[in-house]
């Protein structure tokens, strides 16, 4: 049998290896429970958000009245507030997960250190036994077999500890990767919280605008409808004016300077796609815009919905046609020039998040949808151009929009976006 000294040493080492794992177990369980509680809260908030979305769809289908517009805004405000709470809860949950992983990493480090110490002690025991002669070992033990058993026990223990140390080192590396990934996820959530705060600001501003409208109309639906009718007439005049002006432009557009068509060349600018109005009439039923009916496509999008770049490129410019009273056009808009000869315009935004000359990637948030410019309801308008045929300029010859900058294009530059987006 191994000597009492060796047995006691081995027992002490195993106790040392197991002690490190006990200390953090209770706090790990507490953190796991907290994480579970946060998951439950997130689920509750998600159900609340779904309920608000259904209400928005219902109100959105009603007649466009002053009261329905205010009701829509109020519901949207509650929805965004719920989304902010959800994000804040997700951030707290992520912090707990990082804390849990950090504790597990620290616990694993202790185990590795204990294993290495155990190996050192085992090696020291071997060294001490090696310094004793075989005869001395034989004389202090009952038989030669006991001596061999002792050496074999130490060797097996040493090998076991080495293997366990390698496993723990790999486990530590895995946990470190998890912690890094979770910290990255936390940064995403913080960014999302900032995004939701932007949306909340948008809704607050729009609510003030609606309150001002209530004051202007003295809360009378007849006055509100009168204002809407006036805006519609001004919008139609502007579209006709713009179409006549652009019809006279003669810009050299090389058909080889941009892709003629191709599904998937562009990515959808919204996470959820519902098209409410398609591109206007074309000469050959393919792509060339020739009438003043509609120079792009419209997407259903509630206020504060993130609008994403349909393709990587450079922000050519942005503006706000609402800066001039009576200019019922794109409202807040962004124009992005893409490297393949195409350019995209995003209109009726509530908030712009990019600046001129900024490089943006496909899918990057460039702003939030809204109801600026002429719009009977919140939505996103997207126009697609052949880059060679479009430029930003002050429309000085316009009656109502001469003091604002907007994209102006030869009518041959207008393209049908549906030929470039993925199939629905």
Give the domain ranges of the chain. 4-211, 257-419
- pLDDT at 156 (0 to 100): 72
Taking only the tens place, the pLDDT of each residue in 344-398 is: 999 999 999 999 999 999 999 999 998 888 877 788 999 999 999 999 988 877 8
d(CA 205, CA 298): 23
d(CA 6, CA 126): 10
Beta carbons of 309 and 377 less than 8 angstroms apart: no
Task: Please state the φ and ψ torsions of residue 253, each to the nearest 5 degrees.
Answer: -120, 110
- pLDDT at 292 (0 to 100): 52
- pLDDT at 137 (0 to 100): 57
Cα→Cα distances 65→23, 78, 209, Å: 64, 20, 15
- pLDDT at 389 (0 to 100): 94
**4-211 to CATH, choices 1.10.3470, 1.20.58, 3.40.50, 3.30.750:** 1.20.58
- Start-to-end CA span in the chain (Å): 77
> What would the two tokens of residue 105 be?
């990493």
Residues 213-222: contacts with CB under 8 Å, at least 24 apart: 213/66, 214/66, 214/70, 217/66, 219/66, 220/66, 221/65, 221/66, 221/67
**Same fold for the pair 4-211 and 257-419:** no
- pLDDT at 8 (0 to 100): 47
- pLDDT at 4 (0 to 100): 47
Low-confidence ranges of the chain (pLDDT < 50): 1-2, 4, 7-8, 11, 14-15, 17-23, 282-291
d(CA 46, CA 43): 5
Class of domain 257-419 (CATH, top level): mainly beta
- pLDDT at 283 (0 to 100): 37
- pLDDT at 36 (0 to 100): 93
Name 308's Cβ contacts closer than 8 Å, sequence gap at least 6: 267, 268, 269, 270, 271, 362, 363, 364, 365, 366
d(CA 330, CA 321): 6
- pLDDT at 149 (0 to 100): 66
Select from 303, 301, 302, 373 the least CA-distant residue to 334: 373
């Amino acid at each position: 049998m191994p000597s009492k000294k060796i047995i006691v040493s081995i027992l002490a080492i195993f106790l040392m290896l197991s002690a490190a794992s006990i200390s953090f177990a209770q706090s790990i369980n507490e953190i796991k429970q907290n994480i579970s509680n946060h998951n439950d809260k997130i689920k509750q908030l998600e159900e609340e958000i779904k309920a608000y979305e259904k209400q928005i769809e219902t109100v959105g289908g009603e007649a466009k009245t002053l009261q329905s517009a205010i009701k829509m805004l109020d519901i949207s405000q509650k929805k965004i507030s719920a989304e902010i709470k959800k994000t804040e809860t997700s951030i707290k949950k992520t912090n707990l997960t990082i804390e849990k992983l950090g504790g597990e990493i620290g616990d694993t480090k202790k185990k590795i250190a204990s294993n290495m110490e155990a190996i050192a002690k085992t090696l020291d025991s071997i060294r001490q036994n090696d310094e004793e002669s075989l005869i001395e070992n034989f004389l202090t033990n009952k038989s030669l077999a006991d001596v061999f058993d002792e050496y074999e026990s130490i060797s097996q223990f040493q090998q076991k500890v080495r293997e366990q140390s390698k496993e723990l080192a790999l486990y530590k590396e895995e946990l470190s990767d998890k912690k890094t990934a979770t910290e990255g996820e936390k940064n995403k959530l913080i960014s999302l919280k900032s995004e939701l705060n932007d949306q909340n600001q948008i809704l607050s501003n729009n609510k003030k605008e609606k309150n001002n409208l209530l004051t202007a109309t003295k809360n009378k639906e007849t006055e509100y409808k009168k204002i809407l009718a006036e805006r519609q007439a001004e919008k139609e005049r502007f579209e006709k004016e713009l179409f006549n002006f652009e019809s006279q432009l003669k810009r050299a557009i090389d058909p080889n300077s941009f892709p003629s068509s191709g599904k998937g060349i562009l990515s959808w600018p919204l996470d959820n796609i519902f098209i409410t109005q398609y591109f206007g009439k074309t000469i050959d039923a393919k792509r060339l815009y020739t009438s003043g009916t509609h120079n792009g496509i419209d997407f259903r999008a509630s206020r504060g919905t993130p609008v994403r770049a349909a393709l990587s490129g450079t922000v050519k410019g942005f503006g706000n046609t609402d800066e001039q009273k009576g200019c019922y056009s794109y409202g807040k808009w962004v124009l992005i020039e893409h490297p393949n000869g195409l350019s995209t315009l995003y209109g009726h935004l509530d908030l712009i998040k990019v600046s001129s000359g900024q490089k943006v990637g496909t899918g990057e948030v460039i702003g939030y949808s809204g109801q600026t410019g002429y719009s009977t309801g919140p939505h996103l308008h997207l126009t697609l151009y052949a880059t060679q045929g479009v430029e930003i300029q002050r429309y000085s010859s316009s009656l109502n929009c001469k003091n604002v900058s907007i994209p102006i294009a030869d009518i041959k530059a207008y393209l049908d976006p549906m030929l470039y987006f993925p199939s629905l």
